[in-house]
A and B are shown apart, each in its own frame.
Chain A
């Protein structure tokens, strides 16, 4: 997942980002580490600040901590739900120190386009932000593992049709398995003899299922977190 897509920075305008994290030391650290091509429009430390900053600056990508103080206690997911309608062009990338599945799922279901861990390097975060801005979903190996678990892929459940939301197709399972093994998208593509674009299509489809599926595991998490 670290392969650089060189085309993204060429003629495109600067990628604008907002960093939302309640630790100033982390914000400044990330800011200095980010790729120079990324222009940081603002920072926020709480849910309310984040909503205000995102709505005011309309960035392309928000680097959003999952755990945030303020608001009604909904953390990153609350920011997405409140800010997304007023910032239609903005995409959200979740950052978390927590690998807990329910934390990640809550932001993904709220509308985040991907999830990476906070220990990722500045280059990795920049790359992920660029990928999200390009319309792709960003899956960490752990998120892929969680998806396989939640959609019953391990137990052998396979979607019968393309429209089915509650199960993964055989191809999607293969892609997720390889991502969980640590393969980058390009490596997934060459291992499965498909084009990188197809891999991205599969990943986006999985993300959509993750956001829309009513599978009971997902629903249980969502209701427990008062998302539905």
Chain B
């Protein structure tokens, strides 16, 4: 059941049933375990099955008591070539390989290259529905018929035990197959599930009842034992749902605990670390390295604390704030991003790129306090980047300097917007304003 055994099939010390299987993987698993040729094992089993059903019983017993092989990770490749080998539906954690009868119904995702010659991999994430129910039914019918014929031919078979047992097994298999579907999360129509669950229940109950009714002349003890057996049978059938229910419950509880823990930690960090970072910034002076580091840390922490898992479309303000953090790490600059309004659509890439370039320019050539202002109205998005540096005029830029001319001005023009470069507030520094009109779509909410 370990990954080691999956990786080195032949050196495995434990008897497991491989993913690659024709019926339930018992023969293949046995062959792998003993090192015998799988064909030989299969032939012997078949011959034994003809000898009064001994092979079938042996097979069933091994099937019930042998755990499934752990799902192999990282096995990819081509699909199954054996249609019957596709007795696999979904992922299995391996924690639930209780040695009860559900072998046929046990799900699996990944096949390992086993010993049957055909290298078979179940493609992960592609659940395949195997005709388990049909196979179960067929097996039950065939073995029943075989047993009947053997009986007619004179073999002394405990028919009255075998037939109910087969019926009960089939019912249990059906029930655990439901379990497989439940676990895979592929919820089929609930009515179908109900019908099958009821069918499984009836089968199990019938099988167990038959076992006692046909055995001897019924007396009080038989009836009591029969009733208890039916109860046990029902418990076995219901077990999958119970297991699933408790598992879901504990999953949910764990998630809630994690959430509470996170909230508590966020509150604590807000009260302690953010305050300390603010103090460091205050004491260290606005342009020192310590202040920059503290500020970058604060921003990171704040983002982690308050945004949580966000899967919204790219937000221009958030994007620029993130960029501001990296700028503050690399340059002696203090970048303040103020965003007004919100856009409910994808931010045009040229605007984002031009805004980044403008911020980079400001941080590199001016440093100090840099203000970024984003205003997103339904009609246009405007970004202004203001610095307090030495300033420059657009005419004074050499033609070979690509930074401003190409990356900002030309880029905005190509995107249908405008960019202006002008002296900053009070005549110091530079202010770059990017405006991108949006084609107003009336129907967007």
Contact = CB atoms under 8 A, between A and B. Distances in A.
Interface of A: 22-23, 25-26, 29-30, 33, 67, 97-100, 117-122, 141-142, 144-145, 148-149, 153-156, 177-178, 180-184, 186-188, 190-191
A141 B377 contact: no
A204 B52 CA distance: 100
Interface of B: 270-271, 274-279, 281-283, 285-286, 291, 294-295, 298, 302, 306, 336, 338-341, 369-371, 373, 375-378, 384, 386, 425-427, 431
A118 B282 contact: yes
Given A149-B341, A155-B378, A26 B336 contact: no
Given A97-B275, A181-B338, A184-B426, 11 more contacts: A97-B278, A118-B275, A118-B282, A119-B295, A145-B340, A149-B340, A149-B341, A181-B386, A182-B386, A182-B425, A190-B427
Contact of B426 (A144, A155, A187): A187
Nearest to A148: B340
B425 A142 contact: no
Ranked 3 nearest A-B pairs via Cβ: A182-B371, A187-B425, A154-B341
A115 to B, nearest CB: 13
A29 B279 contact: yes
Contacts of A183: 386, 425-426
Contacts of B291: 119
B338 A120 contact: no
B339 A145 contact: yes
B264 to A, nearest CB: 16
Nearest to A190: B426
A149 B342 CA distance: 9
A33 B282 contact: yes
A154 B375 contact: yes
A106 to B, nearest CB: 16
A183 B145 CA distance: 93
Given A142-B338, A181-B384, A25 B276 contact: yes
Contacts of A181: 338, 371, 373, 384, 386, 425, 431
A141 B340 CA distance: 11
Contacts of A149: 340-341
Contacts of A154: 340-341, 375-377
A121 to B, nearest CB: 6
B276 A141 contact: no
A155 to B, nearest CB: 6
Nearest to A124: B286
A33 B281 CA distance: 12
B279 A191 contact: no
Contacts of A144: 338
A23 B275 contact: yes
Contacts of A153: 340
Contacts of B285: 121
Contacts of B282: 29-30, 33, 118-122
A180 B373 CA distance: 7
B437 to A, nearest CB: 14
Contacts of B426: 183-184, 186-187, 190-191
Nearest to A29: B279
Contacts of B286: 121
A153 B340 CA distance: 9
Contacts of B370: 182
Given A141-B336, A141-B338, A181-B386, A25 B279 contact: yes
Nearest to A186: B426
Contacts of B378: 155
A109 B283 CA distance: 30
Nearest to B373: A181
Contacts of B276: 25
